[in-house]
Amino acid sequence: MLTRILRPGAELTYLLLRIVAGLMFSFHGMQKILGVLPDPQQPPIEVGSQMWIGGMIELVCGLAIALGVFTSWAAFLASGTMAVAYVQFHWMADGHLRFDRNFFPGVNHGEAALLYSFLFLYIACRGAGKWSAEKGKPAA
């Protein structure tokens, strides 16, 4: 019964999910690249560094996902970036992957990276949806 009530709003809900997730992701890039609300703990990012490249991916792919342009490509790249971020910056300890307590996102503080990775993988598979800037493309 609940499915019958909620199903008519599924496309609008997906649109909102895509826009909010894309804008949130792009904001991380804005923080790194443009210095929006800089973190006093974080030193300036060197152009061309791994952190700078990640910030550019966050900024550009996040905006593309939110706007619905090149959505599958942008979401796929964002998903992979977050998977790498989770493994490299959250799970890995002392240069080694360990299947101990540090594997768990609640312990290694990697919940956002892991969630973004799977959310963007879903968006990459589903595409932009009914309402997007990708005209002429059928909704998935």
Instruction: Please write the tens of the pLDDT for every residue from 97-127.
Output: 878 888 888 888 999 999 999 999 999 999 9
Average pLDDT over residues 12-35: 93
DSSP state of 1: -
Which has the closest alpha carbon to 74: 3, 136, 132, 2? 132
Top pLDDT among 140 and 14 is at 14
Spatial distance between the Cα atoms of 11 and 26, rounded to a whole number of angstroms: 22
In this structure, is residue 61 part of a structural domain? yes
Average pLDDT over residues 50-66: 95
The per-residue pLDDT of the chain, averaged, comes to: 89
In this structure, is residue 138 part of a structural domain? no
In this structure, is residue 1 part of a structural domain? no
In this structure, is residue 133 part of a structural domain? no
In this structure, is residue 7 part of a structural domain? no
In this structure, is residue 131 part of a structural domain? no
In this structure, is residue 137 part of a structural domain? no
Which has the closest alpha carbon to 10: 132, 130, 133? 130
What is the domain extent for residue 34? 12-126
pLDDT over 70 at 138, yes or no: no
In this structure, is residue 134 part of a structural domain? no
Average pLDDT over residues 13-36: 93
Phi, psi dihedrals of residue 132, rounded to the nearest 5°:
-155, 175
Count of domains for the chain: 1
Per-residue H/E/C for 34-99: HCCCCCCCCCCCCCCCHHHHHHHHHHHHHHHHHHCCCHHHHHHHHHHHHHHHHHHHHHCECCECCC
> Residue 56: its pLDDT value, please?
96
Average pLDDT over residues 83-93: 89
* End-to-end alpha carbon distance in the chain: 24
> Residue 68: its pLDDT value, please?
95
> Residue 46: its pLDDT value, please?
85
Q: pLDDT above 90 covers what percent of the chain?
A: 55
> Residue 63: its pLDDT value, please?
97
Spatial distance between the Cα atoms of 28 and 35, rounded to a whole number of angstroms: 10
Spatial distance between the Cα atoms of 106 and 102, rounded to a whole number of angstroms: 9
Top pLDDT among 67 and 1 is at 67
pTM: 0.86
